[in-house]
Copies of this chain bind each other. A is one copy, B any other.
Amino acid sequence: KLSELLTDDMAAVDQVILDLAGAHVELIPKISRHLISSGGKRLRPLLTLAAARLAGYEGDQHVTMAASIEFMHTATLLHDDVVDESGLRRGNLTARLLWGNQAAVLVGDYLLGQAFRMMVSVGEIEALRCLSDAAAAIAEGEVMQLSHKNYLACTEDSYFQVIEAKTAKLFIAACEVGAIMAGLEPELKLRLAAFGRHLGLAFQISDDLLDYTPESGIGKLVGDDFREGKITLPVILAYEKGDAEARSFWEKAFAMEEDERIGELDQAVHKIKVSGAAARCQDYADQQAKEAVAALSYWPDTELKEALLETARFAAARSRSKSVVDA
């Protein structure tokens, strides 16, 4: 497993995270630690560490960059929970419920600022470009998603535009930054970026399918996206290919209030299954995982590369398996 191959590097990342400044404002480390130590697998910093090592990096500044990326990610989780009015994350109460929306927004801002401060301290301008692009893109993707809320006519294209921005960009940046630290040549850097992109897309498609897969046995709450009116790939496919009765079901469901809609979840899950939308979603995710694997074909088969490939395969397979890659 990736985390086992990078134990020392990850321990260094954890240390940076725990040493988190802002110690004179108690609330900041408290909230950050709640989220950071609540069982996420830290997939993004692992990718930065792995990409740097795969590209032959021998220094230790990739640790700072990896920690920055985890801070950026944590900041978006804090804000997402406020935006989605979520009650649970990874089976724990969300920070916004424990400390209030206000603290969640502000500590998110702090982590974002701190992430930039740490990246700037490394002083690698190309990495900064990559990460500031990602920061703007993530927020742009989230705004796009918000403006598609309950909008059933949303196309596959616009779904992919949203997940490219809100999810894949940070996976791309995580891999690219590792490559930049190692001074990898442009063509190879692009391959690592492509690996990150396909992994990110596989991950998000699989995540969106999980929301309609109660039998997965995974801690994730089924039905969150449905209740919140997020139009994700399973719904888009089920609606596109649905007969008149199915289309009418989806139209009525997404015209309902949240509380009423959630009563239709079983029907929604059933329709996504029988229409073949679930299987098609899984195909999309598997396809992305395959492309991720292909992106690394240049590199020799080492243990590290194999662990990266395994990560990509698992990312796509979460709704089939209990061996979760939880980010």
Contacts and interface: CB of A to CB of B under 8 A. Distances in A.
Interface of A: 21-22, 25-28, 76, 79, 82-83, 101-103, 105-107, 109-110, 112-114, 116-117, 119-121, 123, 125, 128-129, 132-140, 142-144, 146-147
A101 B85 CA distance: 10
A97 B225 CA distance: 24
Contacts of A132: 113, 116-117, 119-120
A153 to B, nearest CB: 16
Contacts of A146: 27, 102-103, 106
Nearest to A165: B25
A143 B28 contact: yes
A102 B83 contact: yes
Contacts of A147: 25-27
Contacts of A134: 113
A109 B25 contact: no
Nearest to A75: B109
B114 A136 contact: yes
Contacts of A26: 147
Given A25-B140, A25-B143, A135 B117 contact: yes
Contacts of A82: 101-102, 105
Nearest to A84: B102
14 contacts: A22-B136, A25-B143, A28-B143, A79-B105, A103-B143, A103-B146, A109-B142, A110-B136, A113-B135, A114-B136, A116-B136, A119-B132, A120-B128, A121-B129
A210 B121 CA distance: 39
Contact of A139 (B76, B107, B120): B107
A106 B121 CA distance: 26
A189 B90 CA distance: 48
